[in-house]
Amino acid sequence: MKKNLILGLILIFLAVSIIFTTFSYMNSITGRIIERTPYLSTVDFSPVSVNVDT
């Protein structure tokens, strides 16, 4: 019983760490894409900047 509980906790910890690492990896990739394309970096997706542009 305790062995299964420990294994479950380890699996949950691994899943959370994998999700966190993949999320940060994708975030860095999108950041690089935005840096490489000047058009995307100038466009801000918040509605406040859209109102200012129009």
Per-residue pLDDT, 8: 92
> What tokens were used for 45?
């997706």
State how far the Cα of 6 lies from the Cα of 26, in Å rounded to an integer.
30
State how far the Cα of 25 lies from the Cα of 21, in Å rounded to an integer.
6
Per-residue pLDDT, 46: 57
Measuring CA to CA, which residue among 53, 35, 25 is closest to residue 45? Answer: 53
Is 19 exposed, middle or buried (CB count within 10 Å of its CB: 0-12, 13-18, 19+)?
Answer: exposed
* N residues, the chain: 54
* pLDDT tens digit sequence for 17-53: 999 998 888 888 887 776 676 665 555 555 554 455 5
Domain ranges of the chain: 1-37
